[in-house]
Amino acid sequence: MSALLHVDNIGKRFGGFVALDGIDLEVQPGERLGLIGPNGSGKSTLVNCICGTLQNESGSVQFDGHKMDGLAAHQRTHRGLARSFQLPRPFHSMTLADNLRIPLLYTVRARAGLLHSAGDLDARCTELLTMVGLDKKARHKPRDLTQVEMRKLELARAMAAEPKLLIADESMAGLSHSEIEDILKLLVQLNERGITIILIEHIMSAVMSFSQRLAVLVSGKKIADGKPEDVVRDPEVVRAYIGQ
Amino acid sequence: MNTTTFSTIVAAVGLAVLAYAHWLGVDYFYFAGYTILQFVVLATAWNILGGYCGYVNFGTAAFFALGAYSAVFVHKFHPLPIPVLIVIGAVVSGIVGLGMGYLTLRLRGAFFSIATLAMAVVFQTLVVNWEYVGGSRGAYIIHPENVEFAGYKVHYIEYLFTLMLLLAVIAIVTARTIERSQLGFGFATIRDDELAAEACGVPTLRVKLIATTLSGAFMGMAGAPFPYYIGYVQPQSAFALDYAVNSIAMPMIGGTTSWVGPLVGSILLGSAQQYATVTISSAVNLLIVGLMLVAFVIIAPNGLIGLVQERMRAWRKS
Amino acid sequence: MDFNLLINAIFAGLLLGGFYAAVSAGIAIAFGMLDIVNIAHPAFVILGSYIAYTVNINLGVDPILVSILALPAFYALGAFIYQVYYVSFEKRGQESLRGLAFFFGLLFITEVTLILTFGVDYRYVEAAYIGPSIEIGQFELPLRMLVPCVVSLVLFGTIQLFVTRTFLGRAIMAVSQDQLALQLMAADPIRIKRIAFAIAIATASIAGALLIIIQPVEPSVGRDYIGRVFAICVLGGLGSMPGALIAAILLGVVESLTATFYGPSWAPAVSFGFLLLTLAVRPAGLMGR
């Protein structure tokens, strides 16, 4: 398998409700994949199953040549999978800088013994905050942030884990046009450094300009997967999603 | 202030307290002081799991009593010096803490707490039915009146007081060291948002297990000298729910986010209870604890430390 | 094995379990439906016992009658406590640690107030049905266990009917599952929850009277019940009243058998052991959602 991420027929139900119905997905190293679908189609559940926050009941997830099944979320993060949460989940009792320190301490340092000194850690935190434009608020706590700033923090925290694959789950909701541009630029920069990115979004302009490939999820099934221009013209996609 | 400096200061304060007590020469001071210091250890221990990680343990009494009953068990077998019993108590309760954590930490908040209560009762029932340590009839521990140290005769209660003071110093220094370490950060992430912590690479189960083991071990250490202090141990009193309410109330009243809270809370509440026992009756103790717990939890959720911090923030702004 | 002993133990267990249902009704509502961990509930039950005792001893009124007359007072108490709980914790989103501590404090306040008022002696009530038994063949059904069991089942049945047949009852079920949807139906979820919690506390009045009929009561008796009621609700499946009833009867029988054949000192371990087993194996309980 040369694919970085290989999702093979995964299924997940909640009681009687089938959230994921046999999804296959492959992501190549260095790729920019867009993932779209109506609310409730299973996008976040898919992310949760890939990252280990939820355990899928059937099928398997392979990342970087290793089977992920049974691995806890933190172990998958150590292997290079990172995600931002759709609804931001910052650590409320800590400053923004400390929020970023957590993945640095528990993932990056654990991985390669880098970032030995406190000074290194501080410098990296500042660097990350600057990338998302939050460096002025490094000493603030999440309660002082706007919704938009919380999403940026969410993204910065995912980036802090130095992932091979970053899943950005609706990071752009509520952002202004220029802010969306900033985030896109940032993601493209990360991608140019070799980080594979899955972008989950509702903002079609962003998805179309960013993605090299586009997958569409509806009611737990993948109904399309290919070049963005082709996918948006697929009649089934138009009917199920864009036409709504 | 680094750990060495802090430890030295705390140890110095401890020595000062000891010197003062010795100079006073009043036995009651030792008896009352022992109880309060015991609470310092229990409250600090509880706070490691409860305040730092956010997991409320109702089973304090079980770990405490296990420390006490390990001492009783060993005593019946072959009496050993109390410091050794303290280590044994720490190991026994630490292992139980590890086991309990492994079984219950996968449960969310309220279920975890109820499970800890359940474990406490199960252990109590086991001890009640264990004849070797006295069962429900209890066990008597007879101790000498004095202890000899390098030619000096020390009153037994002074000896116990010193030991408990030492344990309190160790507990406080440990708590503060954890707070400032990577482990302390890990604890805080679990309290704030466990799911996000996992996503950031924090091995949450392992971190929580460290918390339950440490917490349990310290409670066991506090319990080991108890049979020698009280002379007569029975499950009814050793496993009393009173230990649970105190070890929860003291950190919550003092403030749960740092080592200062449990210390402040246990000294205040412990002294108040001693005062009430002497002047009114011992039944009123728990009424005081209950009232203060409810009052603080409603009015000052971050405890006394929280109030002080708010005052300082307001003062700084003006 | 003595067959007679076994059957008597089972019958005693069934009656006991029926009574346990009354005690757990309050938690089935508060914890099962409203997610409120009211560990002070057993203390309120004991409060009910003492109220029944006081009026029974001084005025000779039947304890169950007393408990019914006391219902409005308990209801008001429940409404008040919920209001405090809501304003202090639920609104601020801090219900887990602080809410637990709050109810823990209430448990002790109630218990010690009773100790200071009544002392630690065991109290018991007097009624016509305490003493005689019904005999069926060679088996005895003590009336002092049968009457509480029947009343408990009636109570449980009433609540189940209320929850499934009335608008208010179904609103309570709804609020436990989807608060937003309820709001959209123009019902005030806070008011609904307050009513539900008040009802839960009101059941403590009746459960208390039943308790003191079955056994003499002193203030700390409530502590034995903390684990029992949560064990029953978890085993039965949170939010399911019929589940709680089945679990209560099951627990009663197992406890009775344990006490008869292994001695009463092992009985507390039964309910708590059950609880731990359920949490470990099937946290959703027998009939959980």
The confidence band for C93, taking pLDDT boundaries of 50, 70 and 90, is: low
Burial state string for A13-23 with b = 16 or more CB within 10 A and e = fewer than 16: eeeeeebbbeb
Domain count, chain A: 1
Determine, for residues B121 and C107 on separate chains, whether the beta-carbon distance falls below 8 Å.
no
Structure-token pair, residue C243? 């589940």
> Is residue B286 within 8 angstroms of chain C, CB to CB?
yes
| Cβ distance of A92 and B257 shorter than 8 Å | no
Of A57-61, A122-126, B144-148, C216-220, which range is least confident?
A: B144-148
**Residue of A172, A86, A100 lying closest to A142 (CA atoms):** A100
- C284, pLDDT greater than 70: no
pLDDT over 80 (residue B42): yes
Of residues A181 and B262, the one with the higher pLDDT is B262
pLDDT of residue C252 exceeding 60, the answer is yes
Average pLDDT, integer, range B303-309 = 89
Query: What distance in Å separates the CA atoms of residue B169 and residue B15, rounded to the nearest whole number?
Result: 10
- Please report the number of interchain residue pairs, chain B to chain C, with beta-carbon separation below 8 angstroms: 124
Does the structure show a pLDDT above 80 at B3? yes
Query: Residue B262 in contact with residue B43, Cβ under 8 Å?
Result: yes
Q: What is this structure's pTM?
A: 0.90
Residue A46 domain-assigned (yes or no): yes
As a 3-state breakdown, chain C gives helix, strand, coil percent values, each rounded to 5, of 80, 5, 20
CA-nearest residue to C266 within chain B is B125
Confidence of residue A179 (pLDDT cuts 50, 70, 90): confident
H or E element in which residue C51 lies: helix C41-59
- The pLDDT-based confidence of B21 (bands split at 50, 70, 90) is confident
So what's the pLDDT on residue A74? 94
Nearest CA in chain B to C37: B110
Compare A217 and C97 and report the one with higher pLDDT.
A217
User: How many C-beta neighbours within 10 Å does residue B134 have?
Assistant: 20
Q: How far apart are CA B3 and CA B9, in angstroms?
A: 10
Average pLDDT of the residues of chain C: 86
Chain C interface includes B298 (CB < 8 A): yes
Give residue-wise pLDDT tens across range B197-252.
999 999 999 999 999 999 999 999 999 999 999 888 888 888 888 898 999 999 99
Provide the Cα torsion B195, B196, B197, B202; round to 10°: 90
**Residue A20: domain span:** 5-90+162-242
Question: To the nearest whole number, what is the mean pLDDT of chain A?
Answer: 88
Contact B122 C273 (CB under 8 A): yes
CA of B201: which chain A residue's CA is closest?
Answer: A74
Residues of B in contact with A160 (CB under 8 A): 200
At residue A116, the pLDDT reads 67
Residue B233 has phi, psi (to 5 degrees) of -110, 125
Q: What is the rounded distance in angstroms from the CA atom of residue A43 to the CA atom of residue A114?
A: 34
Chains contacting A with at least 3 CB pairs below 8 Å? B
- Taking 3-state DSSP, the helix, strand and coil percentages for chain A, each rounded to the nearest 5, stand at 45, 25, 35
CB-CB under 8 Å, C280 with B287: no
Residues of chain A contacting B189 with CB distance shorter than 8 Å: 91, 102
Query: What is the model's pLDDT at position C94?
Result: 56
Which stretch of A87-96, B255-264, C280-289 has the lowest confidence by average pLDDT?
C280-289
- B300 at C interface, C-beta within 8 A: no
Cα(B139)–Cα(B123) distance, integer angstroms: 17
CB contact under 8 A, B198 and A102: no
* Nearest chain B Cα distance for residue A102, angstroms: 7
- How far lies B184's CA from each of A170, B53, B210, in Å? 31, 9, 11
Question: Which of chain B's residues have a Cβ under 8 Å away from the Cβ of C265?
Answer: 125, 128-129, 136
**Lowest-pLDDT range of B85-99, B169-183, C265-279:** C265-279
User: In whole angstroms, what is the distance from residue C108 CA to residue A87 CA?
Assistant: 39
What per-residue confidence (pLDDT) applies to C92?
64
Tell me the CATH number at A36: 3.40.50.300
Segment A217-221 shows an average pLDDT of 89
Q: Is the CB of A85 less than 8 angstroms away from the CB of B192?
A: no
Contact C70, C48 (CB under 8 A): yes
Model ipTM value: 0.89
Q: Do the chains contact at C96 and B56, CB–CB below 8 Å?
A: yes
Chosen for mutation from A51, A100, A106 (greatest number of chain B CBs closer than 10 Å) is A106
State yes or no: pLDDT of A26 exceeds 60.
yes
Nearest chain A alpha carbon to B188: A93
Question: Would you give the end-to-end CA distance of chain B in angstroms?
Answer: 28
Contact (CB, 8 A) for B146 and B154:
yes
Asked whether residue A134 is domain-assigned, the answer is: no
Across the interface, which of C111, C265, C272 has its CB nearest the CB of B122? Answer: C272
**What does the pLDDT look like over C187-238, one tens digit per residue?**
688 888 999 999 999 999 999 999 999 989 999 888 888 888 888 888 888 7
Please report, as a single letter, which amino acid is at residue A109.
Answer: R
The answer to whether residue C173 scores a pLDDT higher than 90 is no
- Mutation choice for A interface testing from B2, B52, B195, B200 by most A CBs within 10 A: B200
What are the residue ranges of helices labelled H in chain B?
Answer: 3-24, 27-50, 60-77, 82-104, 109-128, 156-179, 182-192, 194-199, 204-223, 226-230, 235-238, 241-254, 260-279, 283-299, 303-317
Give the model's pLDDT for residue B112: 86
**Could you tell me which residues come within 8 angstroms of residue A189 by beta carbon, excluding any fewer than 6 positions away?**
none
Residue of B nearest to C98 (CA): B297
Chain C residue numbers with beta carbons less than 8 Å from the beta carbon of B286 are 108, 111-112
CA–CA dist A92, C171 (Å, integer): 34
Q: Rounded CA gap, C44 and C78, in Å?
A: 10
Q: What is the mean pLDDT of chain B?
A: 89
Confidence of residue C289 (pLDDT cuts 50, 70, 90): very low
**B281-310 burial by CB neighbour count: b if 16+ within 10 A, else e?**
eebbbbbbbbbbbbebbbebbbbbbbeeee
Take residue C117 and report the two structure tokens written for it: 């008022």
pLDDT digits (tens, 9 = 90+) for A35-80: 998 888 889 899 999 999 988 889 999 999 899 988 999 999 999 9
Calculate mean pLDDT across residues B173-197: 93
Which of A126-140, B5-19, C224-238 is the least confident region?
C224-238
C-alpha B234/C-alpha B82 separation (Å) is: 19
CB burial readout B239-265, b (16+ within 10 A) else e:
bbbbbbbbbbbbbbbbbbbbbbbbbbb
| Gap from A106 CA to chain B (nearest CA, Å) | 5
Q: Would residue A52 count as lying in a domain?
A: yes
Q: Which of A90, A106, A157 sits opposite B186 (nearest CB)?
A: A106
Kindly tell me if the per-residue pLDDT of A87 is higher than 70. Answer: yes
What residues of C are in contact with residue B255 (Cβ under 8 Å)?
none
Q: Is the residue at A183 inside a domain?
A: yes
Q: Which residue in chain A is spatially nearest to B196 when comparing CA positions?
A: A89
Note whether C101 contacts B119, CB cutoff 8 Å. Answer: no
Nearest Cα to C100, choosing from A165, B113, A232? Answer: B113
Contact B109 C84 (CB under 8 A): no
CA distance A56 to A53: 10
Residues near B263 by Cβ (< 8 Å), separated by ≥ 6?
Answer: B40, B43, B44, B172, B254
Q: Which residues contact B151 (CB under 8 A, 6 or more apart)?
A: none
Closest in B182, B186, B200 to A107, CB measured: B200
